Each structure stands twice: as structure tokens, then as C-alpha cells.
């Protein structure tokens, strides 16, 4: 696949970006807004860590992500649909379940971390 410098973004977001790129997994609200180039929604959905790293996110999207996978809602939808179609053709059902489980675990961890950030003074 692509050589992406995932270290440029917060650690808790790396798996979500990887799953989106490689398998067309639906991104969460913050990542979707970033991929769709929707600044207002990015700010609305950013946790404390991502809020502090918005500049790094902009650099990451511009310098690391292929142009056909981000920039508008249409590009994001087309990428997800194309990756899912390809995955459905090549991946056994067991692998799909494993991917879904990994995504849900990552999503739960992000929610848990965001709640912890809200408690901090």
C-alpha cells in the first residue's frame, strides 16, 4: 500500500486512518470532517489532543494523503465504496468480522480517551 507517515498524527488516530485508507472503514466524526475538508465540523468534533494538533492534521492531509481519498464528501464516499467493493471481492467473511471488531475497539478507545480529556482541568 502507500507509504504514509502516520507518526505525524496523534497515536490514537492512526489505526482509524489506516483502516479508512486500506479497507474503506467508515471514519468517525472528526476524521470524516477532516477528510471531507470541513473545518467547522473538524473543530466541533475534535478531542483535546486533535484540537491542539490541527496544524499537523492539515500538513498530514496535504503531504501524506493521496488526493483522491480526501478533500470533499464525494471523494470520501467514492473511496469508501471503492475499497469496500475491492475488499468484498478479495476478503473472506472472517476477515471482515475481524476488521469490524478492530474498528469498534478503536472507536471505543477514542470515546474513552475523549471522556478522560473532558475530566481534566
Q: What is the pLDDT of residues 58-109, one digit of tens each?
A: 999 999 999 999 999 999 999 999 998 877 776 666 566 777 777 788 878 8
Which set of grid coordinates corresponds to residue 45?
468534533
Cβ atoms of 112 and 22 closer than 8 Å: no
Cβ atoms of 18 and 11 closer than 8 Å: no
pLDDT of residue 44: 97
Amino acid at each position: 500500500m502507500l507509504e504514509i507517515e502516520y507518526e505525524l498524527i496523534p497515536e490514537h488516530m492512526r489505526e482509524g486512518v489506516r483502516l479508512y485508507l486500506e479497507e474503506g472503514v467508515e471514519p468517525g466524526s472528526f476524521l470524516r470532517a477532516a477528510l471531507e475538508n470541513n473545518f467547522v465540523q473538524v473543530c466541533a468534533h475534535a478531542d483535546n489532543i486533535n484540537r491542539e494538533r490541527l496544524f499537523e492534521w492539515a500538513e498530514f492531509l496535504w503531504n501524506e494523503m493521496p488526493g483522491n481519498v480526501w478533500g470533499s464528501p464525494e471523494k470520501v464516499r467514492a473511496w469508501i465504496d471503492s475499497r469496500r467493493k475491492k475488499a468484498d471481492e478479495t476478503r473472506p467473511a472472517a476477515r471482515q468480522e475481524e476488521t469490524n471488531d478492530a474498528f469498534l475497539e478503536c472507536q471505543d478507545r477514542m470515546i474513552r480517551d475523549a471522556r478522560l480529556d473532558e475530566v481534566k482541568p
